[in-house]
Amino acid sequence: MQKPKRHIFVCGSFRMSGEAQGVCAKKGGMRLLQYMENEIADRGMAGISVSSTGCLKVCDRGPAMIIYPENWWYGKVESESAIDEILDALEEGKPAGNYLMS
Ligand code: FES
């Protein structure tokens, strides 16, 4: 197995019970995760693993995601165009300023 160079963790709002109950799921986080995976494949971006997570504890800024190893935290990622902007910036090696949490 080849280890990925980069991980994208998308909040799936999962709680200890296993249910997705938080803001990110209610705002379509899992639909956006699927879109992101498809878009990464379409763009031929190699070495990236995308995973859903439990609540990232920034619910008021959801849907939320993190890109490692850069440690870029994104919030209010509510549309496919936001994902496009984040991936465009990632391909350029920089963060997408419009969604970056400070
Ligand atoms: S539900 Fe996504 S940060 Fe809490």
In whole angstroms, how far apart are CA 68 and each of 4, 15, 27, 40, 95? Answer: 10, 22, 23, 15, 12
Average pLDDT, the chain: 92
Q: What are the angstrom distances between the C-alpha of 85 and each of 23, 65, 78, 94, 97?
A: 22, 14, 12, 11, 9
Is the CB of residue 8 below 6 angstroms from any atom belonging to ligand 1?
no
DSSP 61: G
Give pLDDT tens digits for 13-61: 876 676 667 889 888 888 999 999 999 999 999 999 999 998 999 999 9
* Model pLDDT, residue 16: 67
Tokens representing residue 11 in the block: 């909040």
Q: What atom in ligand 1 is closest to the CA of residue 23? A: 1
Q: What is the whole-number distance in angstroms between the Cα of residue 57 and the centre of ligand 1? A: 5
- Domains with residue ranges and CATH for the chain: 6-91 (3.40.30.10)
Give the pLDDT of residue 13.
81
Give pTM, 2 decimals: 0.91
Task: Tell me, using a 6 A CB cutoff, whether residue 30 lines ligand 1.
Answer: no
- Are the C-beta atoms of residues 73 and 29 closer than 8 Å to each other? no
